[in-house]
Structure 1
């Protein structure tokens, strides 16, 4: 059935590896030297020396001796070591940007969920998967899968007319909302607990059951375009530029993580279908002591989704650690992955990355975005950072005859265009956001050059270059 981020009227009915020359066998370790020189009477000069650095990335900074009790973090160059300061002291630490993900060999529960139209994603839109929702098959065109949001979102009209929903029961559940910061769309409805089934198809076209999950899904009866949304508005937009209510139709599924950071405060792990699976290939995997051992997480490829991480299917990935969401009460609740961004060969700034299956364009926020936007500018991306970058590439944003386009240093990964926002001196993002926010939504064509994986159990995000 058609699955879209865009709601429609009730009259619209749903229809029926890049090979590494050397595999890493141990943690990548980059030595960094901390040089401390005492300046009388009370200050010290601190600098980080690294052969892989770029100009202007590491800058000597004077500090008072009394406050020089800090640490070194390779990803953002903050200093965090407790030091016994003496003149001419040199200290060397081991700095790791990428880590290994150790999964026991006896953990083998995994399943590959095919995409309905492999040739559509990643170039021409999001992937779709075959699904049954609330006991009704969603149709051969499948349901869109979006890593840029969390939870299944379905219009009231679609819920009632296609999936045998009961609105009198739906309204008894928690009122909720979901806000998409890139498109400024706000969906308002109720979180209704629902059983979902992911399907495959056999050679003769027969549907097979691959994964079963139970999650609350957002059945929305109101839709807004809300350019000035903040989370204190809750489920109501105070200044919409567009609004629809009633038996609205529409359907898509979000499987992303860390989306609370981007304004989706209700999009917690309990809403993610891939993190609440209880049956795989007809075998129960829920409950303590279950013999069907699995490592909770998933891999997104250009032609399929792989649920359940194993030592075999994660071979070749390099992993970065994720931070917990602030005040997280769920062990699966991880913040977005990080990267470093330089614009027009300027300084690298640390920010958040969203590898989004839902859009073909790139969204960029940085205080370094040129003002006004020139006909061409370069965006250098290092994931997770300059020192240990695997997923490093350069996107050149262009405008030719008023048509926005882009090029990339890695074949196939150029977004359709780049939408850029200069965040210098402003608070951006819903709910107060982050001061001078640095953020990159890569767009879906990222998957032409890479595979990406999320370790929900341990809090890691992995990347692997594809064979081109």
Structure 2
């Protein structure tokens, strides 16, 4: 796998040569003082490559649920059937979260409670009390791909651990709702953050679990100061030497890639990309981005998405990588320091 990553980097480098990396892209955080970390193996982890949306145990005081761990959203979302008596629990009021990829809109209440997350081998972490979206109704956007409206939702269990999602129809999805940033317990200093891998998630950043060739990007703050800004990145299609730049989302909740590029970059493509089209993804801002990986549409490679949904528009450039990126990189998010890191596998 490492040879495939290096080959992808070599291809990407030929497309993104130009200015040297800015200081922000070279900064490296110091995790030496931290020892509090735990590895939670996905409930559906298999040896080798990840080939499905990862699941993790979620306990709200009762039996553990098999929940999706989703880096494309922020906040725990569960059907009301799993929280009996929630009406009498402490609440922050009405709740709403929209999953833009599927078009599903979750409505309910933000109920405050501690939660426990667990892995396949029994390891677990518990959070401070935090808001949990207890879903009482599901609505559907007009463009919804997979959605059935209901006033009696069932079998909904999501653990959203993403950042900077407020601008994507998730205005209430603020960092106070991210369970992996509010883990409690332990005897020493804890750095609130995590590392996603194909087999599981490291909860808490330490000197040990951050070893290796991580390449870091320092995020900006949102203008209102409430969260970090999205991860900047660029995409070049078909060997273009003029990439389109915007933001990149590493989303463990989907198997397909969602991409928005301007007409000049799409080169006539609509809806999806023709088989064999080269896709090169870089991280950073225009003129200083470093190559991350590349693939050819439909090549079936380990980091290639199962499908590509292409939107052609000039309003923004955006790439949702899907969980397949984890077959080439461990992905770190430091919620305290505002770093994202990529470690080749």
TM-score (norm 2): 0.85
Distance 1:338 1:122, change over 3 A: farther
- Which of residues 31, 35, 38 is equivalent to 1:111? 38
1:449 Cα deviation from its structure 2 partner: 0.7
Q: Deviations over 1:52-108 (max 9, x none)?
A: 7859x98xxxxxxxxxxxxxxx6xxxxxxxxxxxxxxxxxx9834632423253321
Q: Distance in 2 between matches of 1:355 and 1:122?
A: 16
Contact conserved, 1:156 with 1:249, CA < 8 A, in 2? no
Work out whether 1:246 is the aligned partner of 2:152.
yes
Q: Deviations over 1:388-433 (max 9, x none)?
A: 525132x323xxxxxxxx227xx41011010000013xxxxxxxxx
- Which of residues 357, 367, 380 is equivalent to 2:280? 380
Contact conserved, 2:97 with 2:105, CA < 8 A, in 1? yes
Bigger proportion of residues as helix: 2
Give the total of aligned pairs: 327
Distance 1:213 1:129, change over 3 A: farther
Contact conserved, 2:71 with 2:250, CA < 8 A, in 1? yes
Residue of structure 2 equivalent to 1:350: 245
Contact conserved, 1:413 with 1:448, CA < 8 A, in 2? yes
Residue of structure 2 equivalent to 1:137: 63
Residue of structure 2 equivalent to 1:226: 141
Residue of structure 1 equivalent to 2:54: 127
Q: Which has the higher contact order (CA 8 A, sep 6+)?
A: 2
Residue of structure 1 equivalent to 2:257: 362
Secondary structure in 2 aligned to 1:98? helix
Larger Cα Rg: Structure 1 or Structure 2?
1
Superposed CA RMSD in Å reads: 2.9
Counterparts of 1:2-81 in structure 2, within 5 Å, are: 18=2
Counterparts of 1:40-439 in structure 2, within 5 Å, are: 95-96=22-23, 98-103=25-30, 105-119=32-46, 123-133=50-60, 135-139=61-65, 142-159=66-83, 165-169=84-88, 173-200=92-119, 207-227=122-142, 242-246=148-152, 248-280=154-186, 283=187, 292-315=188-211, 316-329=213-226, 333-346=227-240, 347-367=242-262, 368-373=265-270, 375-376=274-275, 377-384=277-284, 387=288, 389-393=290-294, 395-397=295-297, 406-407=298-299, 411-424=301-314, 436-439=315-318
Q: Deviations over 1:183-204 (max 9, x none)?
A: 11111111000111123466xx
Distance 1:334 1:114, change over 3 A: same
1:242 Cα deviation from its structure 2 partner: 4.8
Q: Deviations over 1:368-395 (max 9, x none)?
A: 33445363333221123675525132x3
1:222 Cα deviation from its structure 2 partner: 1.1
Q: Distance in 2 between matches of 1:201 and 1:414?
A: 27
Q: Distance in 2 between matches of 1:173 and 1:151?
A: 14
Query: Runs of 4 or more off by more than 6 Å in structure 1?
Result: none
Q: Distance in 2 between matches of 1:380 and 1:201?
A: 35
Q: Which runs of 5+ in 2 are unaligned?
A: 4-12
Q: Distance in 1 between matches of 2:67 and 2:342?
A: 25
Distance 1:121 1:130, change over 3 A: farther
